[in-house]
Amino acid sequence: MARDLRSREGPSDAYSEGPSRVPDRRSIHGHRRTSDGYRGPVTSAHASVGPVPRVAGLLLTPGAGADREHRTLLAVEHAVAPLPVRRVDFPYRTAGRRLPDRAPVAVAHVCAEAEAFAEELGVGTDRLVLGGRSYGGRMCSMAVAEGLPAAGLVLLSYPLHPPGKPGTLRVAHLPEVHVPVLAVSGEHDPFGTPEELALHLGTLGGPLTTVLVPGGHQPDGDAAVAAAVRDWLTTLG
């Protein structure tokens, strides 16, 4: 039976890690508006992470309240073809529950899915790019911060904080992420403004590319998001 592709993440889309110390504020600048509707990329170089292995596959996860058939994930899969893509649901979704899994459960699931995908492709997980929308992207970033090898991370609409609660941050683990990261967010996302993204994602331990697209937590269109992911993947080799 066909699934509803209009599913959207709700306000329960992540659990707080508490306040985090961050460096001096950074500004986003140098954007360029392109024909497919996105501004960027804006790249911030951090410590060298050495040679990046050739990407063998892309693992994508949905936000809280959505599933693997979310329209943005489908658009990204189409845009990066023929690169193998594995779209996965979290355990709470497959069990029919409404509340998203706590981080330990979700992170363990990301690790298991990445290892299974890598085994299917005959590679290590260090040849995979991991990521997803909102809660899903955050769980992937936590998995990498906790030691899961990866070629990079794709964070779509990363939830820095709940709407209206800029002090309740979800960034404590970011300095432990030492792989290339692409962050694609709406210009008016209530989960994190462009200025907040520049400030807090600046704590990442690896290279960061930030792309801003029109819209909010769910961008106005998926083509710009998908194009940003496609273009960034080509930089990884």
Read off the pLDDT of residues 52-111 as tens digits, 9 standing for 90 and up: 348 999 999 999 999 999 999 999 999 999 999 999 999 999 999 999 999 999 999 999
Tokens, residue 140 = 């992937």
- Is the Cβ–Cβ distance between 163 and 134 less than 8 Å? no
pLDDT recorded at residue 11: 40
pLDDT recorded at residue 128: 98
CA distances to 3, 82, 218, 231 from 159, rounded to whole Å, are 25, 29, 12, 23
CB atoms within 10 A of CB 160: 24
* 220 vs 144, higher pLDDT: 144
pLDDT band for position 196 (50/70/90)?
very high
pLDDT for residue 194 is more than 50:
yes
Q: Give tens-digit pLDDT for 165-193.
A: 999 999 999 999 999 999 999 999 999 99
Q: Which CATH number fits domain 39-234: 3.30.390.10, 3.30.559.10, 1.10.260.40, 3.40.50.1820?
A: 3.40.50.1820
pLDDT for residue 140 is more than 70:
yes
HSE-up of residue 18 (Cα within 13 Å, Cβ side) = 1
Amino acid at 58: L
pLDDT for residue 232 is more than 80:
yes
